[in-house]
Every structure is written in structure tokens, then in C-alpha cells.
Structure 1
Amino acid sequence: MAKELWLSLPVKDLAKSRQFFAELGFSFHPRHEGSDAMAGLIIGDKQVMVMLVPETTFKQFTSHDIADTERGSEVLISFDAESKEEVDELLAKVDRAGGTIYGKPSDQGWMYGAGFSDLDGHRWNVLYMDESQMPKG
């Protein structure tokens, strides 16, 4: 059975995408350090890897057209934050790094989150959840 999971996202400019996510505070897997072919963005304690892959290479992998992120979403990648403040801090970093905030922070009592798009229009969700306050049912 599978031991690891990799998600692959096509990017127009690998160097700019690396810089964008580094400015947000993400780290990269050393396996692809200095590579022009791809970058392994590390997400969370379980170290799920999101592969940033140049569009031409992505097309070779999939033998398929790339989704137009101006017109639709192919995936929503969500990750957690430690606090509401961390959500807000990340959004400030997204704004400074050139990303787009498409969903302003929303507070549902037990969950606080927001959505942003990276430089290539891929949509991301950052959520703080207080599971002790989560509705039962």
C-alpha cells in the first residue's frame, strides 16, 4: 500500500513559485534543491509533498491540458494553522509575496479561515479549527 502522497501542481515559473512559498514560510525537500525540473514543497508535520512542476513537464506527465485557473479550480489545497493570528499573518505574507486573497477571513466560532491563490492561480485554504468547539452531530 502507499506510504507517501505527492500532489503535483503546474507552475509557469518554478523560481518565482519557490520564492513565493519560501516567503510564506514553507520549506522544500532537499532532494530537489537547485533543480530546474521540480521543487518539493513540504506541508505539515506529516510532510505531504506538493510538487511544483513546470507546465511543460506537467503536460508530459499527464498527457493532458492544464486547467485554466482563471476560469476554474482543479483542486483546493487546505492546511491548518495554530491560531487565528497565524491565519492573519499568513494572509499578510501572501499579499506581500504577490498572491491573491480570494476569501477574506471568516469566523464560524470553532473554525477561522481564509482562501488565497498562488502565483499560478491554484487555490489554497488556511484554517484554524478549535475542535473542542466543533458542533456535535
Structure 2
Amino acid sequence: MEQRVSLITLAVADVEKARGFYRAMGWDEVDSPDGIVVFDLLSQSLGLYPIAELAKDMGVDQDVLGHGAMTLSYNGRNRAEVDAVMAAAAKAGAEVLKEPQEVFWGGYGGYFRDLDGHIWEVTFNPFAPLRRDGAFCWDGH
């Protein structure tokens, strides 16, 4: 596993309110599908996503996530890398919340919880390939 965080997803109660906050902070969003707001950062992205939808995607009850919920995402270069990272996490003692599988938006990924409860998404996004140096941008540039 390369040492990087590709996407930080903040679980929010109100996506439009959160969007307004970050816009007021001077951030520019990039094009993204309905239901998620994304701001590209330096070599990574920040996403805003409804907490209920994030819990549903993970296959857990929303109450499990609590307040201030977020995920750290590791984007791999292909499906095999996703499988390898998830296997390494499990071997290291992580709790696998969702085994890697095809996801509704056309990618492949799963979730694990580290030893202190932080939730990681490990995914391959064919629509936003990593740059050669491993940097991630929502639109792939």
C-alpha cells in the first residue's frame, strides 16, 4: 500500500448547507454526480456525502457512524490492488466492514475499520485514474 489518502469523505446531515459552507470558505467544487459534492485539494479530494447514504453504502446502521463521521479513501490503480490492500488490512487486524465488490457508480471497493475505529474505503475508480505519481483528483487530472 502506497502512503496516501486519495479522498476524504465527510458524512454530512445537509449536503447543500455543507456545500455553502465550503464555498463561503473560498473553495471551488468540481463536477460530480448528484448527491455528492467534491472539492479537489492538492493531490487529493474532499467529498461531502449524506451520512445516511454513507452508512447504507457501508452496510452499517447510521448510528454506528455518530457525529463527525468521515472516511479516508485509498484509491488503487486496479481491482487487484484493492483486493491486496483489503487483505493486508485484515491480516493487520482491521475489521472488514464490506468486502470489495462492484459498486453502483461503476467502480470496485470495500471498507475496513482500523484498530482505533477509523473507517477506510479502498477503491478503484475507473473514471478518476491516479496520476503517475499517485496523486488523486476527482476528474483524473
TM-score, reference length from structure 1: 0.45
Structure number with bigger Rg: 1
Q: Identify which of structures 1 and 2 has the higher relative contact order when contacts are C-alpha pairs closer than 8 Å and 6+ apart.
A: 2
Identify the structure with the greater strand proportion.
1
